Structure 1
Amino acid sequence: MQKCLERSRRLRIGRVLFGIALILVFLRLYIFIPTEVTGISMYPTLNPNDRVVMSTVSSINRFDIIVFTDPMNKTVVKRVIGLPGDSVRYEQDNLYINNKIVKEPFLKRSEISGEPGLWTSNFTMINDNENKVPEDHYFLMGDNRRYSYDSRFYGSISREEVLGKVVMMYYPSDKINFFSQIP
């Protein structure tokens, strides 16, 4: 009798562990996907070879970091600056969204403030003779504005090109960080 109960208990534990393993595999394959950062366009926030986890089910907000396929069919990481319907321009290192100055707290870092000259060159977003981000599109920029090939050059990207939103950096291990919405 005791052996039968013990065997039944082991079977239940095995089923539970198998179910947990299936859920974890599903989450890893379809919801939380690891990816590697390439290039220097997100410096100092992210560096080449940093590893991040992106969520494929998160909503996208201004200043979120996303992974997408760029016009050259490369998978890249950039920051959302303009949302659908926004007008975007820069003047003297000030971001204007819909003609209002918007602070960028992620750029207030010693690596940036110590640099001479403008961090972000002056520009006004123009898209098909309009100055607004089209519906279902995002205007993206790298944090390393001087060395980022981004929406200033190739225009806004469509929602369909977005692979996911970066939610965590897990490598290098001394820089583990969870990314949350910036106010």
Structure 2
Amino acid sequence: MHYSKRDPDVLHIRRVVGLPGEHVVVSAGAVQIDGQNLPQGKMGSNFLDEKWMRYRDLKLGPDEYFLMGDNRENSFDSRTEGPYARDSIVGVATTRWYSAKGMTLGSLAKSTP
């Protein structure tokens, strides 16, 4: 979990895709870390209109992380907002809650990443 750069009072759940010092390249068909493709699984396409995907090829600094949302086609994440500093990551999602009716069944507790 991290605080949004667009709205600092809002927490988002994103996957950590790139770690400090890694070279991240994002295209519509793949995410590469240091030249190796990451498995996509059920994440869908990485496509965002190129006007939004400003950060698609970068080397992360010593305190930078590349985060991506699971809803890849509609997520404001490191592709649009750039890398996140370690201190902006404030928790780890440890549980998934599902509901057949689309209702929220509970909240995620903050924990130390």
Q: Same fold (TM over 0.5)?
A: yes
Aligned to 1:29: none
Cα deviation, residue 170, structure 1: 3.6
Aligned to 2:20: 84
% identical equivalent positions: 27
Q: Name the count of aligned residue pairs.
A: 95
Matched, 1:69 2:3: yes
Larger helix fraction of residues: 1
**What residue ranges of structure 1 are gaps of 5+ in the alignment?**
1-66, 113-118, 176-183
RMSD across aligned positions (CA): 2.5
Rg (Cα) greater in structure: 1
Cα deviation, residue 173, structure 1: 8.4
> CA deviation digits over 1:99-145, x for unaligned, max 9?
122212242xxxx4xxxxxx21276635xxxx211112210111111
Q: 1:105 aligns with which of 9, 18, 41?
A: 41
State the AA in 1 paired with 2:30.
N
Aligned to 2:56: 125
TM-score (norm 1): 0.45
Contact 2:27 2:56 in 1 (8 A): no
TM-score (norm 2): 0.70
**What residue ranges of structure 2 are gaps of 5+ in the alignment?**
106-113
Q: Using the alignment, how far apart are the partners of 1:137 and 1:100 within structure 2?
A: 19
Q: Using the alignment, how far apart are the partners of 2:29 and 2:78 within structure 1?
A: 17
For the residue of structure 1 that corresponds to 2:2, the secondary structure is: strand
Q: Using the alignment, how far apart are the partners of 1:106 and 1:165 within structure 2?
A: 20
Larger strand fraction of residues: 1
For the residue of structure 2 that corresponds to 1:140, the secondary structure is: strand
For the residue of structure 2 that corresponds to 1:84, the secondary structure is: coil
Cα deviation, residue 90, structure 1: 2.4
Query: Structure 1's 173 and 92: CA in aligned 2 closer, same or farther, altered over 3 A?
Result: closer
Matched, 1:96 2:23: no
